[in-house]
Amino acid sequence: MVYDQDIKEGVHLVDINEIVSGSGPFCMSFGFDLAPLIRSIKRVGLINNPLLVEKDRHGFDIVAGFRRILALKSLGWKVIPCRILSGASMSPLECLLLGLHENLCIRNFNDVEKGMILKRLSLLVDKDDILDHYMPLINLPSHEPVLSLYLRVENELEDEIKTSLCVNKLSLHAAKLLLGLEQDERCGIVNLLEELIFNVNQQKQLIGYLEDIKQLRDVKILDILEDQAIRIIRYDNNLNNPQKVNAILKVLRAKIFPRLNESEESFKKILSRLNLPEGVKVVPSPYFESPDYQMVVQFRDGTELQEKIVRLSNNKDIRDIRDPWENNS
C-alpha cells in the first residue's frame, strides 16, 4: 500500500535531465501517438503530474506519466512538476503496481503493453500469482500458454513488429506465428503487412504459405517475397489493396498446391465451355475431396425452373463434368 508519507509533500520541480530517459523499469506504454497529448498540454497545460521514484544514487525513474514526460520534452520543457516517491520506502513491486492501477483507471492496454506488464511482474512475483491475480486484471485468461505467448512477444519481437501489432496491422495470432521465424524473415513479412492490409485469416495464410514454401523448396522467405510474380503484383497500380492481397496469396498457394491449382483451373475451363443458363452453377466439394458435385439452380418460378431444366437436359457438354485430373491422365 502507498501511504501519504511515501510521497514527498507537494509537487517538486524536477530537471528533465534527472529523469531517466528511456522507458525504465515501470513503463507500460508502447505504440502510442503522442500528438493528441501534446495538443492537449499546449491547450490546457499539465493536469496530472507524473509520479517519479528516487533512484539509489541519483535521478528518478518514472512510475507513472511516461507519455506526459515525453510530450513535455518535445514541447521544450526543461523542468517538470512531479510527485516524488521516496525510493527508500517503495519496493519495485509497489512502484509497478502504482503505475498499473493508475493506468487501469483511465485506459485499456494493447497486447504489447500487456506483455511489458507481464514481463515486469515476472521479475517480481511468482508465476501462480501472475496467472491467478494479475492476468485477469489486464483482461487476459489465466492460462500458462497465454502468459508464455505475451512474454515471448515482449522478449523476442522487434520494436517495428510490436508497433505493427499495436496499430492492428498485425494480429496477435500472426505475431505468434512470426515467433517461429528468424528476425529477417519476420521483418520482411511485416514490411509486406505494413504495405498491404491483410485481414487476420489472410495474415495466417500468408505466413503459413511462406513457411511451407521455405520448407518445400529450401529457400529463404525473403527470396520468396522478392519473387518476380509477387513484385509485379505489389507494384501494380491497377490493383487495389484486396486485389493485391488475393493475388499474392494465389501466387503463393500455387507454389504449394501446383496440382490442386492445375485441377481448379482445368475445372473452371470445363465449366466455361458448358454455356450453363444464367443462375446455374456447378459446385465441386472443397478440394474435390468428395466425389460429388452440386448443381445450384436459381429460379423465379416453376416456368423458369422448367425452362432451365430443359436447357440443361439438352446440353450434351454436361457430360464433360468430371474430376479434372481425369482430363490430365
Partner 1 sequence: MSGPAIRKIIVEPDAVRHDIAHSILNNLPGVPVHQLTENFTASEITGHGMGRDIIHLLSYKGDFLKPCPGTKNYICCGYQILNIATNCPIECSYCILQSYFNQPDLRLFVNIKEELDKVLDTIDHHPDKIYRIGTGEFTDSLALDHITAFSGLLIPEFAKRKNTILEFKTKTSQVEGLIDSEYRDRIVVSWSLNSPYISGHEEHKAASLTKRLEAARKCQKEGFILGFHFDPIVCHDNWKEGYSKTIELMDKYIDPKGIIWISLGTFRFMPELKSIIRRSHPKSCVLNGEFIVGLDGKMRYFKPIRLELYSFIAEKLKKWFANSAIYLCMESDDVWKNSLYWSPKDSKGLSLFLDSRVRQIFR
Given the rule CB under 8 A, which residues bind partner 1? Answer: 180, 211-212, 215-216, 256-260, 263, 285-291, 323, 325, 329
Say how far apart CA 214 and CA 291 lie, in whole Å: 32
Say how far apart CA 180 and CA 188 lie, in whole Å: 14
Name the H helices within the chain: 35-44, 66-74, 92-106, 111-122, 127-129, 135-137, 144-156, 159-166, 172-178, 183-195, 200-217, 221-225, 228-234, 241-256, 258-272, 302-313, 325-328
Q: Which is nearer to partner 1, 62 or 207 (CB)?
A: 207
**Min CB(228)–partner 1 separation in Å:** 23
Q: Which is nearer to partner 1, 25 or 208 (CB)?
A: 208
CA-only gyration radius of the chain, Å: 29
**Min CB(291)–partner 1 separation in Å:** 4
CB 242 within 8 A of CB 252: no
**Min CB(262)–partner 1 separation in Å:** 10
Tell which residue, 192, 188, 111, 190, has the closest CA to residue 152: 111
**Min CB(119)–partner 1 separation in Å:** 21
**Min CB(257)–partner 1 separation in Å:** 5
Q: Which is nearer to partner 1, 56 or 289 (CB)?
A: 289
Q: Which is nearer to partner 1, 211 or 304 (CB)?
A: 211
Q: Which is nearer to partner 1, 50 or 284 (CB)?
A: 284
